[in-house]
Structure 1
Amino acid sequence: MNDRHEIQDLLSRYGWLHDERLFDELGSVFTKDARYTMRIGQERTVGPRVGRDEIVGQIRQFKESQSDQRRHVISNFMFLDHSPEAATVRSYVTVLASAGGTTRVVTAGWYLDKVVATPDGWRIAEKTLQLDNGF
């Protein structure tokens, strides 16, 4: 598998682990000192959260307030730069929610991920999420 496929797999794994609430594993996609900032429309900014424990803790808090099943559909991966040590990737995200036999679009937006090569494989060093509206 080449670097681009490994990086795309990493970013997809983030969405999968997030949606399945596998918080212990979710931390493994980030570097120990990663940064995560979420902007919700023009309304508010959450973060930056620094460090994988703080990032996963924030995600866990959001997930615990949701009673539906969320699905992050991450697509349109665009590599803005790429070297053997680091890459910057922009992608779209569509968030779906299923409950009571109905699935709806909750929000959409984009990610900007800065990833780095580590001895354990590619990891997210910085993630920015810009949502079009709240969730």
Structure 2
Amino acid sequence: MIAELQQAVANYAHALDELNMPQLEAVLTEDTTWTFTIPGQGVLGPVAGRTAVLDFIRDGHTAQTGRVRHHLSNVVVATTDAATAEVRAYLLQTRNTGESIQMVSTGVYPFSLRRSDGGWRIAELALTLDNAF
């Protein structure tokens, strides 16, 4: 089960970076919520519902420059039962403009996941960044 949960989180990061909307839709629950804490800006969100989250992702992708990657590491399954799980990962976000590579931000990604017919899906994401960008 731990490998399945780690795979769900990895699928999220890959789909996010590639703007693979069908894969993102498949890894999010319909009632998913996203909340972001950014130093100096406070708490943003929650962005509630899969449709709103997908729109938020599209808007963010349009605004970014260069190739952004979300590197997740130290993925730990904190608690789990047959239907729900808590997963925590560190974030290192990079941007490659073709001329330079930048470290954009670091942070902590707590995920709450729920099991569905299609496997594990992200029900809640509460990213806390270490820096404003």
**TM-score by structure 1 length?**
0.93
Partner in structure 2 of residue 9 of structure 1: 7
For residues 46-85 of structure 1, what are the structure 2 equivalents within 5 Å? 46-85=44-83
Among 123, 129, 132, the residue aligned to 1:131: 129
Instruction: Point out 4+ residue stretches in structure 1 off by more than 2 angstroms.
Output: none
Cα deviation code 1:30-87 (max 9, x no counterpart): 1101111111124232210111110111111111111210000001012221111111
- Alpha-carbon deviation of 1:120? 1.0
Partner in structure 2 of residue 90 of structure 1: 88
Q: Which amino acid aligns with 1:35?
A: T
Unpaired runs of at least 5, structure 2: none
- Alpha-carbon deviation of 1:101? 2.7
CA distance in 2, matches of 1:42, 1:28: 33
For residues 25-36 of structure 1, what are the structure 2 equivalents within 5 Å? 25-36=23-34
SS at 1:84 equivalent? coil
Partner in structure 2 of residue 119 of structure 1: 117
- Using the aligned pairs only, state the percent identity: 31
CA distance in 1, matches of 2:71, 2:127: 13
Count of aligned pairs: 133
**TM-score by structure 2 length?**
0.94
Q: Which amino acid aligns with 1:55?
A: V
Partner in structure 1 of residue 103 of structure 2: 105
Unpaired runs of at least 5, structure 1: none
The CA RMSD measured in Å over matched residues stands at 1.1
